[in-house]
Structure 1
Amino acid sequence: MLDTELDRLGPGATIGGSVAFLLHDTHGFPLELTREIALERGHDVDEDGFATEMAEQRRRAKDARKGGGGGGVEVFAAISAEQGSTLFLGDDSYAVDATVLAVTEDSIVLNQTPFYAESGGQVGDIGVITSPTGRARIVETVYGAPGVVRHRFEVLEGDIEVGQSVNAVIDGERRDAIKRNHTATHLLHWALRETLGDHVKQQGSLVGPDRLRFDFSHYDALSDDEIIAIEDLVAGDILENSPARHYETTKDEAEASGAIAFFGDKYGDVVKVLEAGPHSTELCGGTHVKALGDIGPVKIISEASIGSNIRRIEAVSGTGPIERLREDERRIKAAADAMGVATDELVDAVERRVAEVKELRTRIRDLERQAAAGRSGELADLAIDGIVIERVDGLDRDGVRDLAVAIRDRAGIKAVVLGTAPEGGGVTIVAAVAADSGLNASELIADAAKKVKGGGGKSADLAVAGGKDPEALDEALDLVRAAVRS
């Protein structure tokens, strides 16, 4: 959950107090650990908001009564001690009749459930619980205490009370999509090791209904050929439609059979093993398809580095690749229409257009050089004691550099400092000095570069510096004028 929140936040954004509290209350994540991970990723934590949530939770716990509307971790811990773990029936059933053990302000606990609680990288189920007196939409399923499934709910109608018999139904279409992605994750792990080597180890994962994310140890970016090889291996196993066996055994027997343990998972003496076809055997307590053909196509949609020697791939399965293919087809057709060609002629048309643009840019640069040579005389006439310091907007970085060189090369010019602020943003300051001037181009614009919140320009005879603050360009040039006249 923390990874999901950090990916969602923009650079430097603050993790909300409610999120930090949910990690603490639901997943047992200490605030200190949340703070440490957040700081490593460049984020702060709203600790005041966390404290407010904690105070409210203590108030609810104090007011809680069995069957009442308050409660928190104390209620779930009591159920764990008295009733043991919630019986999970969701591998085989999407709808289950159950008994309500507790109802808190935002959660329902049942004696048995088809709802999978978020764990092992797989997101929790959503769905509906119906009683004789009310209905609740389940918006998240997590663990409230070890083994105790917490169904976080929104009221649809009426009330659900402790002791009632209820019907619990998950969103089956969503679960099926999650199952496809989860089993596909195991096949991708095998295919990555097969293609890249046994050094590949899982470093984290997230399995949702719309996509999967898999982090693994590897020292380099995947090439296009490697991605194709991985996808082909996965497709081969899926096309064979081998069974996906999901069964319980002892941890020792699982390890003896060569089953691979997934990163971050904790295992007891009895474990669940997934045999996903003939090649992949791994410990996993998640939900999975019955046969590999149920997964459908699998497509890797992104690959990137997330740390030192750690890569991340994202992939889609089932209808996901088909939807992306249709979207790509729409984009290709739109591009072809814009170019005025058929789709099978698009690549050639783009290559021709790129060549035309390249030629036009060359012509523009030639014209800019000619214009710079023409303007050089006008600006040279503005020299004071052989030094020209002027602002010349309308030129890009290369254009202003060429103009500075053209002015410097005219008779009687010792040094030239030009500044420009192109419409696209940013600042460029160029200094060009004559060989016999005794001046240093880099030193001439050092303070000016700092003034526009930039830097660069280390060459002694021709220095080019960039900056971020166009509003400060005039003041920056004034600094140069003051320096050469002092």
Structure 2
Amino acid sequence: MDSNELRRAFGEFFVERGHTQVPSASLIPFDRTVLFTVAGMVPFKRYFLGEEPAPYQRATSIQKCMRAGGKHNDLDQIGQTLRHLTFFEMLGNFSFGDYFKEQAIPYAWELVTSVLGLEPDRLWVTVHTSDDEAAEIWRDSVGVDPGRIQRLEEDNWWQMGDTGPCGPCSEIYYDKGVEYGADGGPAFGSDERFLEIWNLVFMQFDQQSEGDLIPLPKPCIDTGAGLERIVPILQGRPSVFETDLVYPILQEAESLTGRSYGVDHRDDVGLRIIADHSRAMTFLLADGVVPTNEGRGYVLRRIIRRLVLRAQLLGARQQVVERLVTGVIDTMGDAYPELRDRRERILELATREEGRFEQTLAIGAPILNAAIESGEVRGGVAFRLHDTFGVPIELTTEIAQDRGVPVDLEGFQREMTEQRSRSRQAGLGDDEVSEQPTGALWVLESFGKTEFLGYEAEVTVGEIQFVGQEGERVAVYVDRTPFYPEGGGQVGDTGWINAAGFRAKVIDTDQPVQGVIRHWVEVIEGELAVGDSVELVVDAGRRARVRANHTATHLLQWALREVLGDHVAQQGSLVAPDRLRFDFTHWSALSADEIQQVERLIMGEVVSASGVVTQVKDKETAVREGAIAFFGDQYQDVVRVVHAGDHSVELCGGTHVGSLGEIGLFKVISEGSIGANTRRIEAVTQLAALDVVHGLERQLDALERVLPGGREALTERVEALVAKNKTLDAELGNLRQEKLRSISRELAAKRNSSWIIERVDGLNGQELRFVALELRRLEGVEVVVLASVVDHKVALVATAIDPELHPANEVLEPVASAVGGRVGPQRELALSGGREVAKLDQALAELRAGSESAK
């Protein structure tokens, strides 16, 4: 049975037993507590937690999963074992309060024995030590030999967190045979011999903070069977790396490196890493992750760079990722058509990252090689490779270990800690802690979802369901509302809530749990009670500006894809009444011509005044018909499809204009980078865009007054003036440099030691640095320390010929400390400063005395 047949057999088995087949969710989870979708249950977590009612009682899925980075990280195990993978597929069946152990266990046994044909005498089962019920079902209902049912403690207990849903679990293991290790079943035998293939989780308790286990009113089932664990058994292969899932990719790695799998253990480890990381790289890029220096992007960057480095270490002499990505798409494209649909984008980003890494590696490799040849990679060197050249510490450690050289990880961590400290001082704080939506959950459980009328109305009458203080603000929940809650990049509506003797200003609207809309209000007068009838009035003028900006954002994404290519994908957005912001994947700054092309395309749509049409469809149909979905967004099974004119088609739940003509005018006001391979455009529409144009007109008028002669030649006059200023600046710079050289000659003439320690007032830090470097060239000079006072501030510089003998930062430290400054880690040339001018001369004198006594 090949892998596609296994996927089909698993899905059909459970669909025939009343389960809804749910397509795989993205690797980018809706759940913010995990970096990636790490298990089949993650997309259903909100149903298990009771945050939303499940739309089905039974479900089955084949879920793409990733365990690399964060709490669930198998990255360092890859290649070392035959069973660990970063990317894998989880087969699962789920019950949301419907059936429990009495059906879940027989289902699993029937599938693995009758459908997949596994021999019962090669299967073992484990249950929790306390779970007599599961053991009895396995023994009495299914007929498993009691000698093959083993009990385990924590290995067979599952919990979502310190509190919340939990319960025992039961696992099915396959005995690969005596050649794989010791007997004794999964409890006592070899891990390589007894392979876990399916885990059945029985969510039946609620773990309390005090330690009590409270039975859940509706126990649930969550099972997970590893596709990559089962396929080797069905295909008679020793590991997944030799099956139809991975072997074609591994063969590509063999071809690129000239190494053969199964000949040398170290080569095998490297080839397994390349094959695994190729799959992870391709699927992450397909799901919208781009290489960056933080979060998911950093994990992806590390995976790509680890893959490239391993390929080079095994002998690859050319770029490798294009062929490896192609191998993954050819192997997995039938099961995941999005890989073929996004092939160009995946290849562009992957090859670009490979090229960037090769450039940095070419610079960083000599530094690392020199450190390895010295016998130890010091912490400072490892940090510099990480921070400056983009070589992750894990790769530095791997390379060094391959050559038997230790890495000073403690020193590296000290450098990292210092860097984080500097970041905090610069105002970079911790991640925000998400709010606990207790009021919204109560509303959902008591009344159900809020009826949203905002697509058709801006004023309506509703009934109060709940009013309460949440944090320091007042929250109001109503059975129906025209207020749009913040979501999809669009800000929440504002407006008013009115009733007899009551008036409140709505300052924001959000959706703390799916389907429940919360109005944050400032009470102007009166009081509200549950059951009161109120009038809800959206600020129509503000809503109109938001609508225009939201529809313009759709046109912007279409225009960018037209001008730059289909690799452009939305990475974030803000739709506010005064502006719009759009983040997207692209690797270089847009030229002025490209920005004008984008603006012209959008204005062509605006002046056409085409209608904006919204349709409601099931998600699969909408995407199949060409609607663009925002990677990483969570969509319901039924979605709104917005057609903005003849070209732009997107899934979107926001509010939009009725005609593109309502946008009026579109103008880009800024474009820039917000991270590796990610750009940001800010733009304005309607009267805000006209204000920008008027502002530009005023600037031109002001320039024309300063440089008269007509607008037509204004550019030439400005360019001539700039050129003249550059010439004058160059002449002034030459004069300044000559003056600094003259100062250097005067100081050189005064010196009577190999240490030059002088105060030269009137020079800024850069000028002081120039003089110090001039003096360092003199024969016989070992150390130069210079100080200058300008505007009651002290500037300091120190430089040394031999930084190992006389580290510049250590030489400068006592002077810097005396004047109230600090010195960084630079050992060859150190800079500092301070405000304690009165203490400078004494500090310099003490340094001179110390340098003389040290001779």
Q: TM-score range by the shorter chain?
A: 0.7 to 0.9
Q: Distance in 2 between matches of 1:390 and 1:87?
A: 77
Deviation of residue 484 (structure 1)? 5.3
* Cα distance per residue 1:281-325 (max 9 Å; x no partner): 111111001111111222222223333322222221222221112
Q: Is the 8 A contact 1:259 1:282 kept in 2?
A: yes
Residue 130 of structure 1 corresponds to 498
> Residues 301 and 468 of structure 1: is their aligned pair in 2 closer, same or farther, counting only changes over 3 Å?
farther
Q: Is the 8 A contact 1:426 1:466 kept in 2?
A: no
Residue 518 of structure 2 corresponds to 150
Q: Are 1:84 and 2:417 matched, yes or no? A: no
- Counterpart amino acid of 1:73? T
Residue 810 of structure 2 corresponds to 447
Residue 100 of structure 1 corresponds to 464
1:227 equivalent among 595, 599, 607: 595
Q: Are 1:184 and 2:552 matched, yes or no? A: yes
Residue 649 of structure 2 corresponds to 281
Q: Is the 8 A contact 1:143 1:149 kept in 2?
A: yes
> Residues 287 and 445 of structure 1: is their aligned pair in 2 closer, same or farther, counting only changes over 3 Å?
same
> Residues 398 and 173 of structure 1: is their aligned pair in 2 closer, same or farther, counting only changes over 3 Å?
closer
Q: Distance in 2 between matches of 1:171 and 1:79?
A: 25
Which of 465-474 and 266-275 deviates more? 465-474
Deviation of residue 331 (structure 1)? 3.5
Q: Distance in 2 between matches of 1:401 and 1:108?
A: 62
Q: Distance in 2 between matches of 1:161 and 1:116?
A: 23
Q: CA RMSD in A?
A: 4.0
> Residues 348 and 248 of structure 1: is their aligned pair in 2 closer, same or farther, counting only changes over 3 Å?
same
Residue 429 of structure 2 corresponds to 43
Deviation of residue 80 (structure 1)? 2.5
SS in 2 for 1:357: helix
Which of 279-288 and 362-371 deviates more? 362-371
- Counterpart amino acid of 1:86? T
Deviation of residue 178 (structure 1)? 0.6
Residue 161 of structure 1 corresponds to 529
Q: Is the 8 A contact 1:127 1:139 kept in 2?
A: yes
Q: Is the 8 A contact 2:498 2:536 kept in 1?
A: yes
Deviation of residue 456 (structure 1)? 5.4
> Residues 389 and 219 of structure 1: is their aligned pair in 2 closer, same or farther, counting only changes over 3 Å?
same
Q: Are 1:73 and 2:438 matched, yes or no? A: yes
Residue 466 of structure 1 corresponds to 831
- Counterpart amino acid of 1:310? T
Q: Are 1:246 and 2:596 matched, yes or no? A: no
Within a 5 Å distance, the mapping from 1:199-218 to structure 2 comes to 199-218=567-586
Q: Distance in 2 between matches of 1:157 and 1:440?
A: 72
Within a 5 Å distance, the mapping from 1:5-16 to structure 2 comes to none
Deviation of residue 84 (structure 1)? 2.7
Matched length: 422
Q: Distance in 2 between matches of 1:331 and 1:457?
A: 48
Q: Is the 8 A contact 1:380 1:413 kept in 2?
A: no
* Cα distance per residue 1:23-60 (max 9 Å; x no partner): xxx99xx9xxxxx999999412688xx9xx98xxxxxx
- Counterpart amino acid of 1:244? V
Q: Is the 8 A contact 2:783 2:806 kept in 1?
A: no
Within a 5 Å distance, the mapping from 1:288-437 to structure 2 comes to 288-337=656-705, 346-369=714-737, 371-372=739-740, 375=743, 379-380=747-748, 382-385=750-753, 388-396=756-764, 399-400=767-768, 417-420=785-788, 422-423=790-791, 427=795, 429=797
Deviation of residue 405 (structure 1)? 7.6
Q: Distance in 1 between matches of 2:574 and 2:754?
A: 66
> Residues 180 and 426 of structure 1: is their aligned pair in 2 closer, same or farther, counting only changes over 3 Å?
farther
> Residues 411 and 454 of structure 1: is their aligned pair in 2 closer, same or farther, counting only changes over 3 Å?
closer
> Residues 344 and 396 of structure 1: is their aligned pair in 2 closer, same or farther, counting only changes over 3 Å?
farther
Q: Which has the higher contact order (CA 8 A, sep 6+)?
A: 1
> Residues 209 and 481 of structure 1: is their aligned pair in 2 closer, same or farther, counting only changes over 3 Å?
farther
Q: Distance in 2 between matches of 1:82 and 1:418?
A: 74
SS in 1 for 2:596: helix
Which of 295-304 and 468-477 deviates more? 468-477
- Counterpart amino acid of 1:392? V
Q: Distance in 2 between matches of 1:482 and 1:332?
A: 62
Which of 373-382 and 176-185 deviates more? 373-382
- Counterpart amino acid of 1:318? Q
Q: TM-score by structure 2 length?
A: 0.44
SS in 2 for 1:150: strand
Q: Distance in 2 between matches of 1:405 and 1:283?
A: 61
- Counterpart amino acid of 1:87? E
> Residues 226 and 457 of structure 1: is their aligned pair in 2 closer, same or farther, counting only changes over 3 Å?
farther
Within a 5 Å distance, the mapping from 1:28-39 to structure 2 comes to none
> Residues 405 and 198 of structure 1: is their aligned pair in 2 closer, same or farther, counting only changes over 3 Å?
closer
Q: Is the 8 A contact 2:464 2:533 kept in 1?
A: yes
Q: Distance in 2 between matches of 1:309 and 1:413?
A: 47
* Cα distance per residue 1:154-190 (max 9 Å; x no partner): 1122223333332211001100111111111111111
Which of 205-214 and 350-359 deviates more? 350-359
Q: Distance in 1 between matches of 2:778 and 2:628?
A: 74
Deviation of residue 423 (structure 1)? 4.9
SS in 2 for 1:155: strand
* Cα distance per residue 1:354-385 (max 9 Å; x no partner): 34433433443444455456556654564334
Residue 165 of structure 2 corresponds to none
Deviation of residue 272 (structure 1)? 0.7
Q: Is the 8 A contact 1:100 1:162 kept in 2?
A: yes
Identity level (%): 39
Gaps of 5+ in 2: 1-50, 53-160, 162-294, 297-419, 817-821
Q: Is the 8 A contact 1:444 1:480 kept in 2?
A: no
SS in 1 for 2:598: helix
Residue 562 of structure 2 corresponds to 194
- Counterpart amino acid of 2:654? G
Q: Distance in 1 between matches of 2:805 and 2:710?
A: 53
- Counterpart amino acid of 2:823? K
Q: TM-score by structure 1 length?
A: 0.73
> Residues 323 and 227 of structure 1: is their aligned pair in 2 closer, same or farther, counting only changes over 3 Å?
same
> Residues 374 and 99 of structure 1: is their aligned pair in 2 closer, same or farther, counting only changes over 3 Å?
closer
Gaps of 5+ in 1: 1-25, 31-35, 55-71, 434-438, 459-463
> Residues 92 and 391 of structure 1: is their aligned pair in 2 closer, same or farther, counting only changes over 3 Å?
same
- Counterpart amino acid of 1:156? I
Q: Distance in 1 between matches of 2:797 and 2:596?
A: 47
> Residues 359 and 120 of structure 1: is their aligned pair in 2 closer, same or farther, counting only changes over 3 Å?
closer
Q: Is the 8 A contact 1:258 1:281 kept in 2?
A: yes
Q: Are 1:257 and 2:625 matched, yes or no? A: yes
Deviation of residue 431 (structure 1)? 5.4
Q: Is the 8 A contact 1:120 1:264 kept in 2?
A: no
- Counterpart amino acid of 1:227? I
